[in-house]
Amino acid sequence: MRKPHPQSKLKTLDAKAQERIRELLNENTLATAVELVKEKFAVATSQTALSNFRTWYDLCHEISDSAELAEAVKELLSDKKLKLAPETVSQAAQIVFENRALKRDDGNLFVALRVARQNDKRLEQNERKLKLEIEKFQTLVLEKSLDLFENKKLRDIAESSAPRADKIAALRKAAFADIDELEKSGKVELPQ
């Protein structure tokens, strides 16, 4: 079994320990911090791992701060007096968040944020599509239910005292008789 990478060990520590390590990095050289982390947290690490940890930790906090700012902007713009559409408010907050990332001159972060936004849009589209499909299905079921009540033969089967499973089998046979005949015949004739 492979040993965990020294950098990943630092990232798995609790938030207070990570904060304390970041403070150690501010107060000491990397060489001294390596020894202090080993002594205080029982984590063997390297100067490179600590340097990478500092970058990662600062980025996480910057992203968190940007997210909090974006949420504050969203809250301010959600004021009913402004009469802004929820989509407009969300877009404004996202722009604030992304602009903070741009100031960091981190192209990879900016691209990742754009990809995340595109994925969110795709998810919203899929949710709308699913909602439409559910509505179509519900409409179809209700239309078929109306057909059932308009068709005396089907209505008589539904109102019979037969067990439910027998009713369903009889309804299926009666309702889809034309499809069953078509399947048996092997011919498909499209209506003109």
**pLDDT score, position 2:** 45
Answer yes or no: are the C-beta atoms of 25 and 54 closer than 8 Å: yes
Answer yes or no: are the C-beta atoms of 157 and 174 closer than 8 Å: yes
**pLDDT score, position 191:** 57
DSSP symbol at 82: G
**pLDDT score, position 131:** 92
Within 10 angstroms of residue 97's Cβ, the number of other Cβ atoms is: 20
What is the distance of C-alpha 32 from the center of its chain?
42
Spans in the chain with pLDDT lower than 70: 1-7, 101-102, 104-110, 112-113, 179-183, 185-192
What is the 3 state secondary structure string of 18-31?
HHHHHHHHHHCCHH
Phi, psi of 131 (to 5 degrees): -60, -45
DSSP symbol at 2: P
